[in-house]
A and B are shown apart, each in its own frame.
Chain A
Amino acid sequence: MTLPEVKQLLNTLAEQIRPQLTPDTALVGIHTGGVWVAERLHTLLGVSQPLGSIDVAFYRDDYNSRGLHARPQRSGIPFDVADRHIILVDDVLYSGRTTRAALNELFDYGRPARVDLAVLVDRGERQLPIAARFCAHTLSEALPADSKLALQRDDHGNLSLEVKSA
């Protein structure tokens, strides 16, 4: 399967979001890939609110079996969450468990007025009732369950999609 160019996907995603932006809207990227996407969207859309980021490591439901091995990053929400329109940004939407964890974490900062989800790629196979309002690309066929689709960033800051099989 050929994966689309990230640059094109970012533009598509930005154009989907643009009509829905209000002066109150804030972007929150989910570590790690989602933060890269959120950074680009923040620039492309000229969002006035500062950029937020969260690491869901402490909120995952598979924490007991996976442990804390990946280095958790500091979450940073530099604005008041209460009554705000928030767009959660991730690179890939798959089971929906990361989004669930991100929503739980977000609500620990306050009660937002509305939360939307924006993703570069939807690879299907959802395990929870979660859907992205903004999505630049949907995979036409399912990937093997044990493979990992994620955004990569090279030394020059260029983003690309990569499939890694287990």
Chain B
Amino acid sequence: MLNPQLTKDGRLRHLITLDGLPKAILTEILDIAAPFTEVAEREVKKLPLLRGKSVFNVFFENSTRTRTTFEIAAKRLSADVINLNVATSSTNKGETLLDTVDNLCAMGADMFVMRHASSGAPYLLAQHLRNTGRDHISVVNAGDGRHAHPTQGLLDMYTIRHYKQDFTRLTVAVVGDVLHSRVARSEIAALTTLGVPEVRVIGPKTLLPTDVERMGVRVFHDMEEGLKGVDVVMMLRLQNERMQGALLPSSQEYFKCYGLTEEKLALAAKDAIVLHPGPMNRGVEIDSAVADGANAVILPQVTFGIAVRMAVMSMLAAGN
């Protein structure tokens, strides 16, 4: 089957998920992102690649970091950026998602950056654009439900490559609330595609999906055991807002078992790097000493995120 994210000649048309995206495209995105990091050092922090294009940021869920870095990325590419505050928009008056989108298309949208609480919403949007003959409009998934957060996955890959160069010699641990995490799904898909020989997931049974082994990972319920010798620790946020019922006794209990402290980090490789997609819950999944420590690359992640989002948007603009 044709990958709905790619054009007939294999260029990127939408970015919905990293699952099933060829290694060549993943690598191309990371390669194109590299020169974009340098734009931040110029007097004029702008490139003309998206000049005259309108990018609509449509966020049906809260976000600060992702929305802001998408906005900065689009503006550095000279696009016109329109941020929709969905909380005060017509969806609250009963308008459907696709009606909202049709109206934005009528305003001349060239690209949608969309976050939605429902898994599959960006895919629905891409299908709708295709069915209505508006294939030239691209969709970037900025996080949908528990499904995927592809640009977060990509910026994590960029960060890992920046510090560790070669994916094929790494042991990577993804730690925490995998069950509710679209970030974890995108990370695992990308790590596997890029050839990381050992991906571990660490977390309590209640916070791991039942079929998690099918993603090609080694499962650990004991964090000390799972962190031994790893090169990269990818922490996840405990997503209290998505939890229904009693999955955890308390956040203190969680911190005791699965919070990343200096003592636990000492079990990983000496030069291990620690990633976190933000926002961090200090004292829940990560200790402040680690979050602010020498191994953490959490703030570089944010900076690289701009370059990676610039790469994705410029490839989409070129592909369509």
Contacts and interface: CB of A to CB of B under 8 A. Distances in A.
B318 A64 contact: yes
State the main secondary structure of chain B at its contact with A: helix
Contacts of B48: 58-59, 104
Contact of B318 (A67, A73, A110): A67
A50 interface: no
Nearest to B77: A58
B317 interface: yes
Contacts of A107: 44
Interface stretch (B32-40, B86-94, B265-273, B278-286): B32-40
A108 B46 contact: yes
A82 B43 CA distance: 10
A165 to B, nearest CB: 24
A166 interface: no
A55 B47 contact: no
B43 A68 contact: no
Interface in B44-59: 44, 46-49
B319 A67 contact: yes
A76 B38 CA distance: 8
B49 A73 contact: no
A106 to B, nearest CB: 10
A100 B176 CA distance: 52
B35 A59 contact: no
B314 interface: yes
B45 to A, nearest CB: 8
Interface residues of B, number: 18
Given A55-B35, A68-B314, A72-B32, A109 B42 contact: yes
A75 B35 contact: yes
A68 B42 contact: no
A68 B47 contact: no
A104 B43 CA distance: 13
Contact of B43 (A58, A59, A66, A109): A109
A74 B34 contact: yes
Nearest to B36: A58
Nearest to B31: A71
B315 interface: yes
Given A58-B49, A108-B44, A109-B42, A72 B35 contact: yes
Nearest to A104: B48
B218 interface: no
A63 interface: yes
B35 A73 contact: yes
B11 interface: yes
Nearest to B318: A67
A107 B43 CA distance: 9
Given A63-B318, A67-B11, A68-B315, A74 B35 contact: yes
A108 B42 contact: yes
A59 B318 CA distance: 13
A81 B44 CA distance: 12
B46 A74 contact: no
B43 A108 contact: yes
A66 B315 CA distance: 11
Contacts of B34: 74
Contacts of B46: 108
A64 B317 contact: yes
23 contacts: A55-B35, A58-B35, A58-B47, A58-B48, A64-B318, A67-B11, A67-B315, A67-B318, A68-B32, A68-B314, A68-B315, A68-B318, A71-B31, A71-B32, A72-B35, A73-B35, A74-B34, A75-B38, A108-B43, A108-B44, A108-B47, A109-B42, A110-B43
Question: Considering the complex of A and B, which 10 residue pairs feature the smallest CB-CB distances, nearest first?
Answer: A67-B318, A108-B44, A74-B35, A58-B47, A72-B35, A68-B318, A110-B43, A108-B42, A109-B42, A74-B38
Interface of A: 55, 58-59, 63-64, 66-68, 71-76, 81-82, 104, 107-110
Given A58-B35, A73-B35, A108-B46, 10 more contacts: A58-B314, A59-B47, A67-B318, A68-B315, A71-B31, A72-B35, A74-B35, A75-B35, A108-B44, A109-B43
